[in-house]
Structure 1
Amino acid sequence: MSASVSMPTGGVQVGTYPDYAQAQRAVDYLSDEHFPVENVQIVGTDLRSVEQVVGRLTYGRAAGAGAASGAWFGLFVGLLLGIFAPDGSSWISSVITGLLIGVAFGALFGLAGYAATRGRRDFASTGQKIVAGRYDVLCNPQFAEDARAHLARLSLRG
């Protein structure tokens, strides 16, 4: 049986940071100081979902986005079919044909997808991400005082 160190959530809080990068820096500092970091957790609290809206979605934008996506797929299919072309001109025509068909079907599917929403989502956005309001560094109780001492030295360094 192998020994493992595990700590349930609810260890002793040894530091609180406003963003993940600072919490990560604190744990990295502990590691640099040869602290047993396997006894440490970074826990994000006050979670919220963030979605960045980038603009209004219209039929033209939906068709354009679909055409761009379809172009990549059509180019890929055209290149695959071009492998089996008997000569150079057939290869080029396979790639161009695949590209054009991909653009047409992509635009069509982009329009159909936008029309299916019936105006319930008339905006374009980047993906949603989950962010925390703060990040707590927790430590196993038997190592907590040592961790606090190390992190105090880190905060004095600035």
Structure 2
Amino acid sequence: MSASVSMPLGGVQVGSYDSYERAQAAVDHLSHEKFPVENVTIIGSDLRQVEKVLGRMTTGRAIAAGAAGGAWWGLFVGLLLGIFSVDGAGWIGSVLSGLLIGLVFGALFGWMGYAATQGRRDFTSTSTIVAGRYDVMCQPAHAEQARDILARFSLRF
């Protein structure tokens, strides 16, 4: 079924909340009340990207992060190659060799990647996308029932 021009995507609004957790709790309440939740959609509006700066990126941190990632990959490859060893010493040798080679190459690539940025973006961060409002939408045939249930739900807060 395609969305029409007159009806927004997801149906008609039956509730609006300032956090995703509240919108999720509302839909959860509808589910507990045996409402057919397959007719419900949560739509986030007023989207914005939030970037949390974690700290400075230095050559040492870039090398350490690269070495850590490389060590994990090297350990994985060493364990895979260790399967084919005929004795315990060969297995330990494969694992340690993979770990050390991965560590060295990871550190090298971490340094090269940092050096290639030439001082641009000398910080680490995480990004998330958050909405300013979360609307609970419902198909028109079930909207009135959903509004009644959510009206009782909102009295609990």
Shorter-chain TM-score above 0.5:
yes
Deviations 1:53-93 (A, max 9, x none): 21100000000000000001111111122222232222212
Structure 1: give runs of 5+ residues left out of the alignment. Answer: none
2:84 match: secondary structure: coil
Deviation at 1:140, TM superposition (A): 2.4
Structure 2 equivalent of residue 138 of structure 1:
137
Q: Distance in 1 between matches of 2:42 and 2:56?
A: 38
Deviations 1:8-49 (A, max 9, x none): 516322111111111011111112222232322111001011
TM-score, normalising length: structure 1 = 0.88
| Greater mean deviation of Cα atoms: 26-35 or 138-147 | 138-147
Of Structure 1 and Structure 2, the greater strand share is in 2
**What is the letter of the counterpart of residue 123 of structure 2?**
F
Superposed, 1:103-114 pairs within 5 Å as 103-114=103-114
* RMSD, matched Cα: 2.0
Structure 1 equivalent of residue 82 of structure 2:
82
Deviation at 1:123, TM superposition (A): 0.5
TM-score, normalising length: structure 2 = 0.88
Q: Distance in 1 between matches of 2:144 and 2:83?
A: 66
**What is the letter of the counterpart of residue 75 of structure 1?**
L
**What is the letter of the counterpart of residue 141 of structure 1?**
P
Deviation at 1:117, TM superposition (A): 1.0
2:120 match: secondary structure: coil
Superposed, 1:2-151 pairs within 5 Å as 8-9=8-9, 11-126=11-126, 128-151=127-150
Structure 2: give runs of 5+ residues left out of the alignment. Answer: none
**What is the letter of the counterpart of residue 58 of structure 2?**
T
